[in-house]
Amino acid sequence: MVGKVEAVNGGVKPTTTTPASSETPADLAPPAFSFRALKLKTKQQELLIRVTILCLVYVLAFIARLFSVLRYESMIHEFDPYFNYRTTLYLTQKGFYEFWNWFDSESWYPLGRIIGGTLYPGLMVTAALIYWTLRFLRFAVHIREVCVLTAPFFASNTTLVAYFFGKELWDSGAGLVAAALIAICPGYISRSVAGSYDNEAVAIFALLLTFYLFVKAVNMGSLAWALASAFGYFYMVSAWGGYVFIINLIPLYVLVLLITGRYSMRLYVAYNCMYVLGMLLAMQIRFVGFQHVQSGEHMAAMGVFFLMQVFYFLDWVKYLLNDSKLFQAFLRITVTCAVVVGAVALGVGTASGYISPWTGRFYSLLDPTYAKDHIPIIASVSEHQPTAWSSFMFDFHILLFLFPAGLYFCFKRLTDATIFIVMYGLTSMYFAGVMVRLILVATPAVCLISAVAVSATIKNLTQLLRAKNKAAGPGKGATSVKASSKASLDQSLPFQRNGAIALLVGAFYLLSRYATHCTWVTSEAYSSPSIVLAARGAYGNRVIFDDYREAYFWLRQNTPSDAKVMSWWDYGYQITAMGNRTVIVDNNTWNNTHIATVGRAMSSYEDEAYEIMRSLDVDYVLVVFGGVTGYSSDDINKFLWMVRIGGGVFPVIKEPDYLVNGEYRVDKGAAPKMLNCLM
């Protein structure tokens, strides 16, 4: 039993490892009320400490994400959340059937967009349910407030799931540390701050929940837990496209268990139930459709499913046959046949086109150089750049040291659960190295493994401390045995106890530095709404630019309601949500040719651009220019991407035309094509 009190937000507290002995100051008690009634047993004390810590961590996770709400106002940040907000608004106003069958003619003019079939509804449905529940309880909230605060609420729930997962993996001490670490880890905060109403806000909760339920099912072998994990998987599929990670990691985990000889009935029950039910449930989402049987990315799960059946069959035959040699021959033949049949089926499926190959987005994770050469639109997104060491340090701090130590402890005590977390950690760290955005997916694994390291190290140190306290213990057999064996060593390491105290203080110092770092990073780097900008003026005063919202409001007030606005795809969602006007292209980027048309219009000479714009019925053009204020991510900076994407489809646009000696200039000495183009 280790009752731990974790350093919270800069405070440094020593552990309380003394066993239960609550004093009863009966002599001080007033006669009417005796403190003797409050005397708690050890187990109750431990429960109280654990519940208190969890409540504090829950509240901490929520309030750490509220910086931007306090500094600016409660508004939606960035670009993608505006689309999610608009769809949630539509859902609460018109109801679920209208939402599910919605065809939107206000974006991607003149093509329109089938919104019902091309989004992941989990986030919107969750927020709408919370909104309806609060309304039912007669709280008159606006849907925008619910949307803004959905992400911190689900981050708090994630800390609870992390506690249970840590308890499953190691022990309850590790669970508490994991909850505390994940509550403030900047890698998670970056995408779940209040106002960041994006899919990842609920997706990370669903991811961790699915993994926890599956590991619990494998440990217990119970059908009920496997069913729960299937429903957790359904929630994840409805929430985010990153569910492909789950449907590939779990089969890989099962394969590793099979290879290391840990096949068991529990694994069979858990995986089969989860795969079949999860697949059927996932097909209910229109956006996913039949991909689970048709797409190359999901074939690993199916292959492992069949392999499990082969294992079960072999086990049954082994039970029937009592002859070992006969069984060996049978085993070899069956395994060879199964592998050959599987390979042939995969080959036929891929060759006939029924099984589609890996899509570019996920293929570029396996081969990072693919996107740079072939798909400029994926390569242009700043979140998709590979990760440098400083991004890791920024988002993880101390956890980068604790991660390899935690891996060591997991390898020392290999169980089904620790094998899972090791695999999750390693695969997610590799993907985090490929793409900055995926640091988010690695964060729960890193926090859990680091929690194992912290818990094991502190347990070692406190055991050193307690080695001499033979008399005070409440008679735990193991402790006294260790005490007697340590007693013989105590003479040889005279400063052992002081050393242990010093190391404990050092450990808590490091954890408090982690908390300070996380708070600083959250406050400085991850709480900016991106739609409202702040800068220091000439006299050191803070200047706030609300230009984006003012521009969209101007569009809303001063243009006819059927006006079409052309802009670069970054701003599409915001224009439709706030300006309420039809746009030509937006952030969904589902049609590369349409975007290339806009890119071509922006980079052609004005007369050619006019022809293109007339053909698209464009009335207004929106561009962002940051030259006056020194804002550096404006359209001039993004212009070369417009050229590259336009040139990818229309070879008439060539990038070297816009460069001077290979250098991009925008002043008087710029290339003539650059000076005369629409931009």
Partner 1 sequence: MAPKSETLTSDPATDSIDPILHILRLVPYAFLRPPRLRLKLPSLTLPSPMTTYSLTLLTYFMVVSGIVYDVIVEPPGIGSTQDRATGAVRPVVFLPGRVNGQYIIEGLSSGFMFVLGGTGIVLMDLALDRNRARSVKVSFASAGVSFVVIAYVMSMLFIRIKIPAYLR
The residue ranges that bind partner 1 (CB under 8 A) are: 259-260, 329, 368-369, 372, 385-394, 398, 400-405, 407-409, 411-412, 414, 422, 426, 429-430, 432-434, 436, 453, 456-457, 460, 464, 485, 489, 492-493, 499, 503, 506, 510, 516-517, 520, 524-525
Q: Which is nearer to partner 1, 226 or 399 (CB)?
A: 399
Q: How far is the CB of 375 from partner 1 (least distance, A)?
A: 14
**How many angstroms separate the most distant Cα atoms in the chain?**
96
Instruction: At 242, list the tokens.
Output: 């990153």
Half-sphere CA count of 226, side-chain side, radius 13 A: 20
Using an 8 Å Cβ cutoff, are 431 and 438 in contact? yes
**Beta carbon of residue 460, minimum distance to partner 1 (angstroms, whole number):** 5
Query: Which distant-in-sequence residues (6+ apart) come within 8 Å of 115 by Cβ?
Result: 87, 102, 103, 104
Closest to 380 measured CA to CA, from 624, 199, 595? 595
Looking at residue 19, what DSSP letter applies? P
Residue 119: both structure tokens together:
């989004």
User: 111 or 502, CB closer to partner 1?
Assistant: 502
By C-beta, is 416 or 619 nearer to partner 1?
416
Task: Give, to the nearest 10 degrees, the angle between helix 143-169 and helix 122-136.
Answer: 110
Indicate the residue among 24 and 480 with the shorter CB distance to partner 1: 480
Q: Residue 386 CB, nearest distance to partner 1 (Å)?
A: 4
Degrees (nearest 5) of the Cα angle 229, 236, 410? 60
Our CB check for partner 1 shows the closer of 381 and 612 to be 381
Contact 533, 545 (CB under 8 A): yes
Q: Which amino acid is at 17?
A: T
The helix-helix angle for 172-184 and 439-466 (nearest 10°) equals 140
What phi and psi, each to the nearest 5 degrees, are found at residue 557?
-85, -35
Neighbouring C-beta atoms of residue 550, cutoff 10 Å: 10
Report in angstroms how near the CB of residue 389 gets to partner 1 at its nearest.
4
> 228: Cβ–Cβ under 8 A, 6 or more apart, which residues?
213, 217
Nearer to partner 1, 141 or 481 (CB): 481
Tell me the two tokens of residue 615.
């053909």
- Considering beta carbons, is residue 355 or 440 the nearer one to partner 1? 440
CB nearer to partner 1: give 398 or 653. Answer: 398
Nearer to partner 1, 133 or 260 (CB): 260
8 A C-beta contact, residue 163 and residue 182 = no
Q: Map tokens 């500094």 to a residue.
A: 71
For partner 1, which is the closer residue by CB, 183 or 456?
Answer: 456
CB of 459 to partner 1, least distance (A): 10
Cβ of residue 122: shortest distance to partner 1, in angstroms? 29
Residue the block writes with tokens 């050890």: 42
Q: Provide the minimum distance between the beta carbon of 476 and partner 1 in the complex, in angstroms, as a whole number.
A: 19
Task: Give the residue with the Cβ less far from partner 1, 348 or 489.
Answer: 489
Using alpha carbons, select from 201, 261, 253 the residue that is nearest to residue 425. Answer: 253
Dihedral sign from CA coordinates of 634, 636, 637, 641 = positive
Rounded-to-integer distance, Cα 446 and Cα 400, Å: 8
CA dist., res. 585 & res. 587, Å (int)? 7
CA distance 339 to 345: 10
Task: Quote the CA–CA distance of 269 and 658 in Å, as a whole number.
Answer: 62
* Cβ nearer to partner 1, comparing 76 with 453: 453
- Distance (Å, rounded) from C-alpha 192 to C-alpha 201? 5
Query: Whole-number minimum distance, CB 427 to partner 1, in Å?
Result: 11
For residue 11, the minimal CB distance to partner 1 (Å) is 17
Structure token digits, residue 540: 């050191």
Nearer to partner 1, 256 or 283 (CB): 256
Q: Which is nearer to partner 1, 329 or 675 (CB)?
A: 329
Residue closer to partner 1 by CB (options 42, 519) is 519
Nearest-approach distance from CB 428 to partner 1, in angstroms: 11
Could you give the CA distance from residue 160 to residue 56 in angstroms, rounded to a whole number? 11
Phi-psi region of 543 (alpha: psi -120 to 50; beta: other; left: phi over 0): beta
Asked if 178 and 166 count as a contact pair (C-beta separation under 8 A), the reply is: yes
The 3-state DSSP class for residue 590 equals coil
| Phi and psi, residue 601, nearest 5° | -65, -40
Query: Residue with structure tokens 């080959």?
Result: 347
DSSP 677: B
